[in-house]
Amino acid sequence: MATLSLRNLKKAYGPVEVIKGINLDIVDREFVVFVGPSGCGKSTLLRMIAGLEEITSGELMIDEKRVNEVGPADRGLAMVFQSYALYPHMTVAQNMGFALRLAKVPKTERDAKVAEAARILQLGPYLERKPKDLSGGQRQRVAIGRAIVRDPKVFLFDEPLSNLDAALRGQMRIELSRLHDDLNATMIYVTHDQIEAMTMADKIVVLQAGRIEQVGSPLELYHNPANLFVAGFIGSPRMNMLPVTVSGIGPGSVEVALPSGARVLLPADTGGLHDGLALTLGIRPEALRLDPAGQITGEVMLVERLGGLTLLHVGAEGRDDLIVQIEGSSPVEMHQHVQLAVEYTGCHLFGADGLTIQKQALQTAAA
């Protein structure tokens, strides 16, 4: 059992506030990912939870008990870092059992725990090897094994896959998801990589400059981003952003004019909108498709053929990199002139304040 509650957590280094009031609840067995650009405060927040950084103000609760003043060793957490920090002179088994030896756990119990961790992580054949004789992925698994043997209430990971190559990162993502399922533990995972967040998280916490931008499941964030930042950060390839102006308002819908004058009709909560208002239109790459009747005219500047997908970089609407994602292999060639149609379901409108304009008026609770 492990739930965490972060209540207006703040961290300042001297006059500089780097964590600016985080409120968050993490439920038992949840896989929570903190994601955001480099320097946004992810590691600092994780280290505050671990007890490695003092909390300037606010409260950290684990299982409903305040732990601000509890030392790192007594919080029931285990942390896995990007740098594996294995002891080079110890074998895999000794590395994994070291914390237990320090804690004076009897040898038979220690060996059993190491053997169980090795089984879960498929490290059995490597127990007598030294770290230098392991691949990067195996070393990272040993670092995770060191955490597993301690049987923590919560696992904390700080960018554990950053030192691995792309293929191995993909494989380790799957292994970590499987591990979460096997161990039934609460996990908090920090990364700057939105793909890791999308593929592993039950709940994603998007951070920017020490604040939470949005909390939600991967698909909630993808389909209902709260603001421009989340819309641009989540999703690969990125959402296309175009400056538009309101050109007409109907019941529950708005028509916007693109830079070329082309019009797009969208469902929207029209309260607060008026003709001529400047907005930003976000269009997911898969919401643009080739269509001779489409309202956007452009020239293909680059084609990326990925086999199952084709990405077109189109010069249109004052941009040279409007990204169009097409299923399968498209015969389209570079410099071809194309017409694009816009699927409204993959469109999002943002006000000048960067906040999403809702697709429909929010229901007011019935009295």
Residues forming the site for Mg ion (CB under 5 A):
43
Rounded to a whole number of angstroms, the minimum distance from the CB of residue 77 to Mg ion is 17
Collect all residues with Cβ–Cβ distance below 8 Å to 140 and sequence separation of at least 6. Answer: 80, 84, 160, 161, 163, 164, 172
Residue closer to Mg ion, measured from CB, 37 or 318: 37
Residue closer to ligand ADP, measured from CB, 18 or 52: 18
Any contact of residue 39 with ligand ADP (CB under 6 A)? Answer: yes
Rounded to a whole number of angstroms, the minimum distance from the CB of residue 192 to Mg ion is 8
Q: Give the other-Cβ count within 10 Å of 41's Cβ.
A: 22
Check: CB of residue 319 under 8 Å from CB of residue 281.
no
Integer Cα distance of 95 and 216 in angstroms: 37
Rounded to a whole number of angstroms, the minimum distance from the CB of residue 154 to ligand ADP is 18
Integer Cα distance of 270 and 280 in angstroms: 15
Any contact of residue 41 with ligand ADP (CB under 6 A)? Answer: yes
Quick one: what does residue 87 bind among ligand ADP, Mg ion, none, with the CB cut-off 5 to 8 Å set by partner type? none
| Per-residue contact string for residues 2-21; x = within reach of ligand ADP by CB under 6 A | -----------x----x---
Any contact of residue 44 with ligand ADP (CB under 6 A)? Answer: yes
Residue closer to ligand ADP, measured from CB, 183 or 195: 195
Rounded to a whole number of angstroms, the minimum distance from the CB of residue 39 to Mg ion is 8
Any contact of residue 43 with ligand ADP (CB under 6 A)? Answer: yes
Quick one: what does residue 18 bind among Mg ion, ligand ADP, none, with the CB cut-off 5 to 8 Å set by partner type? ligand ADP
Integer Cα distance of 223 and 240 in angstroms: 14
Residue closer to ligand ADP, measured from CB, 230 or 322: 230
Residue closer to Mg ion, measured from CB, 78 or 226: 78
| Per-residue contact string for residues 308-327; x = within reach of ligand ADP by CB under 6 A | --------------------
Q: Which residue has the tokens 């792309």?
A: 166
Question: Quick one: tokens of 184?
Answer: 């039934």
Rounded to a whole number of angstroms, the minimum distance from the CB of residue 337 to ligand ADP is 43
Question: Quick one: tokens of 66?
Answer: 């305040």
Largest CA distance in the chain: 76
Integer Cα distance of 362 and 355 in angstroms: 15
Quick one: what does residue 39 bind among ligand ADP, Mg ion, none, with the CB cut-off 5 to 8 Å set by partner type? ligand ADP
Residue 82 half-sphere exposure, CB side, CA atoms within 13 Å?
10
Rounded to a whole number of angstroms, the minimum distance from the CB of residue 41 to Mg ion is 8
Check: CB of residue 279 under 8 Å from CB of residue 349.
yes
Rounded to a whole number of angstroms, the minimum distance from the CB of residue 7 to ligand ADP is 19
Listed residue (186, 177, 188, 175) closest to 30, CA to CA: 186
CA geometry: angle 68, 73, 79, nearest 5 deg: 95
Three-state secondary structure call for residue 197: helix
Residue ranges that bind ligand ADP, judged by CB under 6 A: 13, 18, 36, 38-44
